[in-house]
């Protein structure tokens, strides 16, 4: 079984997230998502709209996601890769190069981001009364 691991906040789920999760899952047989906890997000000065528990519930309902684990800090990735026998680590290419240290433990793949959508853009557009452009 080829196991894939990715991380994220996955707040206000959108098609860019789904595109990432689908492509990540298609690289293997089992996809684990390390989901940023509310506490970890606070340390990133990032506040999710949905709580960790509700973001986890949503992710677990997605056919491409096999398991969700908490992402509590920046330092846990090596342990997560080893402890979960991960073969491939995947992130969107906005993170290009940032996790190359994991190449000592597994394959590292950066996938092209989906252009034109982000949680921030959704919030901004909604505030301005705009629809998806
Ligand atoms: N993503 C994408 N296309 C978009 C938006 C997001 O491919 N239009 C990808 C990101 O590159 C990331 C994943 O979807 O791989 C989740 O995005 P976020 O929830 O914004 O995750 P982020 O805040 O980047 O947290 O330790 C790593 C962090 O937890 C990543």
Cα-Cα end-to-end distance for the chain: 40
Which two structure tokens, joined as six digits, stand for 124?
């901004």
Residue 71: which residues within 8 A CB-CB, separation 6 or more? 7, 34, 35, 36, 37, 40
Give the nearest ligand 1 atom to 46 CA.
23
> pLDDT band at 79, cuts 50/70/90?
very high
pLDDT at 82 over 80: yes
Residue 46 CA to residue 78 CA, distance in Å, equals: 23
Q: State what percent of residues in the chain have pLDDT above 90.
A: 96
- 2, 22, 46, 131: the catalytic one is 46
Residue 91 CA to residue 99 CA, distance in Å, equals: 9
> pLDDT band at 94, cuts 50/70/90?
very high
Which residue from 22, 16, 34 is spatially nearest to 76, judged by alpha carbons? 34
Task: Answer yes or no: 44 catalytic.
Answer: yes
Give the mutation target among 6, 8, 71, 114 for probing the ligand 1 site: most ligand atoms within 8 A of CB.
Answer: 8
Higher pLDDT, 41 or 132: 41
pLDDT value at residue 133: 75
Residue 27 CA to residue 11 CA, distance in Å, equals: 23
């Amino acid at each position: 079984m080829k196991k894939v691991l990715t991380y994220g906040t996955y707040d206000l789920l959108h098609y860019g997230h789904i595109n990432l999760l689908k492509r990540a899952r298609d690289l293997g047989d089992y996809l684990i998502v390390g989901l940023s906890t509310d506490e970890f997000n606070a340390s990133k000065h990032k506040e999710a709209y949905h709580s960790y528990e509700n973001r986890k519930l949503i992710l677990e309902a997605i056919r491409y996601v096999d398991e969700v684990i908490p992402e509590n800090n920046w330092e846990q990735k090596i342990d997560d890769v080893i402890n979960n026998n991960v073969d491939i680590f995947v992130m969107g290419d906005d993170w290009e190069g940032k996790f190359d240290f994991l190449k000592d433990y597994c394959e590292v793949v950066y996938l092209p981001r989906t252009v034109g959508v982000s949680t921030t853009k959704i919030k901004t557009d909604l505030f301005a009364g705009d629809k998806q452009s």
